[in-house]
Structure 1
Amino acid sequence: MGAMKFLVLGGTAWLGGEITTAALRRGHDVTALARGESGTVPDGAAFLRADRDSPGAYDAVARQSWDAVVDVSRQPGHVRRAVTALSGCADRYIFVSSCSVYADHHVPGADESAPLLPALEADVMESMETYGEAKAACEQHVLDAFGHGRALIARSGLIGGPGDVSDRTGYWPLRFARPAAGDGSVLVPDAPELATQVIDVRDLAAWLVLAAERKVSGKFNAAGEPMMLPAHLELARQAAGHTGPVVPVAPQWLADAGVNYWSGEHSLPLWLPLPEYAGFASRDNRAAVAAGLELRPLSETLADVLAWEQAAGPDRPRKAGLTVLEECELLATI
């Protein structure tokens, strides 16, 4: 097919940059509109510097025509103003939402028809406490302006792979590659019934571009294949070549020791409480796969994120996981 005109709102941070790169690789014309504070635009893309909080942020792009707009924002005001400005000059709008929009995470295998959280009424999400509500509001703004036939809502699961500065997918392979304990022991949650579900950032970006080419519309769980936590950790261990002891610890023991779930300081990434999060990382992704989403093996994602972690600097300040000292202290009390 001929080259399409893509407008990526963002395009300089992690996912936006991958989307821009994927579209360029397919021969499309790409313009990124962003503040430019999160990184540089990939070579080959045009760049328009704009603050989405400022009046007139979309004036320059609203005077052009676009085959597809891709938006990854979490701020309802950003999306509301963008769709208002662009609904008359863009053929379709692709919004990267999140599976956090769902109101309930108890049920494994839930599909896109599951109930959503109430949409945030404010234009600004003040904290991550209302992330799901903010993304739900963004979805509604897109659908109100573009309708169901011109909009793609991609509810992403946990995004991983090279460049994951959230540290949720890189923590485990890096820890297995560099154990905290002198004997090579690695502390892991003993949670055999907990699912994980990672989508490689490169696979998500490639699918969004493909969906634009095919004029795909609708709501999709853009998520990886569910995998139980022990199997995920074993793949991370294999990627790292770890041969030391693995020390499974009961979830209640970890909670009593003050270890946090999922992310943040003093946490174990991917670990979540059961049964309330039994369905959080086991969403039904069949609709997205049927619409062309191709998923690489998790082993490849983990190997690649480990290589990126080692190149980026394993000792950089981290946003998730236990420090070496914290893990050693926990292991010493077992």
Structure 2
Amino acid sequence: MDVLLLGGTGWLGGEVARAAVARGHAVTALTRGAGVPDGVAHVRGDRTEDGAYDAVAGRDWDLVLDVVHQPGLVRSAVQALGDRARRWVYVSSGSVYRATDDPAGDETDPLHDPLTSDHAGPEDYAGAKVACENLVLEALGDRAVVARAGLIGGRGDRSDRFGYYPAAFARAGSEAVLLPAVGETTVQTVSAADLAAWLVAAGEGDASGVYDTYGEPIAFADLVALARAAAGHQGPVHEADPDWLVAHGVGYFMGPRSLPFWLPAGHELTVTRPSARARAAGLSWRPYRRLVDEALTDERTLGFDRERRAGLTRAEELELLAALAGD
């Protein structure tokens, strides 16, 4: 197959490029910068500029893959390349789903309203992804595959979310670790490598339409137990009530001074999505223990004391543990 990646130097794009090369495909990446993975042809182009696709628009592609969330960039891409693509795979997000009281938990759940502007600000992410999906589906029809991913983890993850708990247990040693009291909450993380392999396979075959591509559902308590075992933690574990955490300035899910996997009730990512359609189409899930081990290896390499994009620093955690003990 001749594969065109719109991007390809980032985390998921890089995994897709490596997966496609490993399967024997000829891969080209259209990017603004350099540094594409080994075995990938590089075409320099800025998608915000006129003529960005000129160097790749004059030929046929077996697969075009895009992950961008700006509707204007998706619009220009499908206009320039849609007629020359046998299959178009667009990586969307579970953020497109509205939070509902009784969701079906599959691709038929209600979505946010699509963004009407070509340019999305940070607060427009959900609506922008809906708009991008619509542009791809309307332009490509049954040649389009839309993959709605939830939380992605694994090798190379720089969001610091999935790796936080393995790192927290490892850095604590025999001391205490703070967890959110989330009861029987179920969480899901898909390995970037597993998702990438499925995206390439979807482009090889006759898949079409929308697929949830979440990870395997697992109880948060079970995931934490795997992280604790991988880190060899022997110290105590203290759970804090969500209201207490909010009152003490701890944020949800991501960002500084946060706790990953902890979300407000009714958030769309709290809905369990079994991804049955993608599983039937070949999506595989590596065991969570393997995913935890990969994350812990990355965390050790990067350093537990670095500035985190998600989670608590050890100093913040100790401060909160002391406050919890005093209440």
Equivalent of 1:98 in 93, 100, 122: 93
**Greater than 3 Å deviation, 4+ residue runs:** 105-109
Cα separation, 2, equivalents of 1:316 and 1:205:
28
In structure 2, do the counterparts of structure 1 residues 105 and 9 end up closer, same or farther at CA, with 3 Å as the change threshold? farther
Letter in 2 for 1:319: R
| Counterpart in the other structure of 2:28 | 31
Equivalent of 1:144 in 133, 138, 144: 138
Letter in 1 for 2:95: S
Sequence identity, in percent?
51
| Counterpart in the other structure of 1:322 | 312
Cα separation, 1, equivalents of 2:317 and 2:37:
38
Give how far 1:106 is off.
4.3
Say if 2:264 is the partner of 1:267.
no
Cα separation, 2, equivalents of 1:100 and 1:10:
21
Equivalent of 1:70 in 58, 65, 73: 65
Letter in 2 for 1:258: G
Cα separation, 2, equivalents of 1:27 and 1:131:
34
Equivalent of 1:85 in 80, 83, 100: 80
Give how far 1:308 is off.
1.3
Say if 2:272 is the partner of 1:282.
yes
In structure 2, do the counterparts of structure 1 residues 108 and 225 end up closer, same or farther at CA, with 3 Å as the change threshold? farther
Give how far 1:88 is off.
1.4
Cα separation, 2, equivalents of 1:287 and 1:185:
41
Q: TM-score, normalised by structure 1?
A: 0.94
| Counterpart in the other structure of 1:296 | 286
Cα separation, 1, equivalents of 2:302 and 2:256:
20
Which moves more between the two structures, 63-72 or 303-312? 303-312
In structure 2, do the counterparts of structure 1 residues 9 and 143 end up closer, same or farther at CA, with 3 Å as the change threshold? same
Cα separation, 2, equivalents of 1:281 and 1:17:
29
Does the CA-based 8 Å contact 1:9-1:32 persist in structure 2? yes
Per-residue CA deviation, residues 111-155 of structure 1 (Å, 9 max, x unaligned), is 10111111111111111x2211110011011012101x1000000
Give how far 1:193 is off.
2.6
| Counterpart in the other structure of 2:10 | 13
Give how far 1:250 is off.
1.2
Q: TM-score, normalised by structure 2?
A: 0.96
Cα separation, 2, equivalents of 1:88 and 1:53:
20
Cα separation, 2, equivalents of 1:281 and 1:97:
17
Does the CA-based 8 Å contact 2:174-2:234 persist in structure 1? no
Does the CA-based 8 Å contact 1:194-1:272 persist in structure 2? no
SS where residue 202 of structure 2 aligns? helix
| Counterpart in the other structure of 2:200 | 209
In structure 2, do the counterparts of structure 1 residues 207 and 17 end up closer, same or farther at CA, with 3 Å as the change threshold? same
Q: Map 1:166-177; keep pairs closer than 5 Å.
A: 166-177=159-170
Give how far 1:208 is off.
0.5
SS where residue 317 of structure 1 aligns? coil
Per-residue CA deviation, residues 225-276 of structure 1 (Å, 9 max, x unaligned), is 11121111111111211111111111111111111000011100111122x1
Equivalent of 2:146 in 153, 165, 175: 153
Cα separation, 2, equivalents of 1:54 and 1:135:
21
SS where residue 61 of structure 2 aligns? coil
- Long gaps (5+) in structure 1: none
Cα separation, 2, equivalents of 1:201 and 1:222:
11
Letter in 1 for 2:291: T
In structure 2, do the counterparts of structure 1 residues 9 and 78 end up closer, same or farther at CA, with 3 Å as the change threshold? same
SS where residue 309 of structure 1 aligns? helix
| Counterpart in the other structure of 2:155 | 162
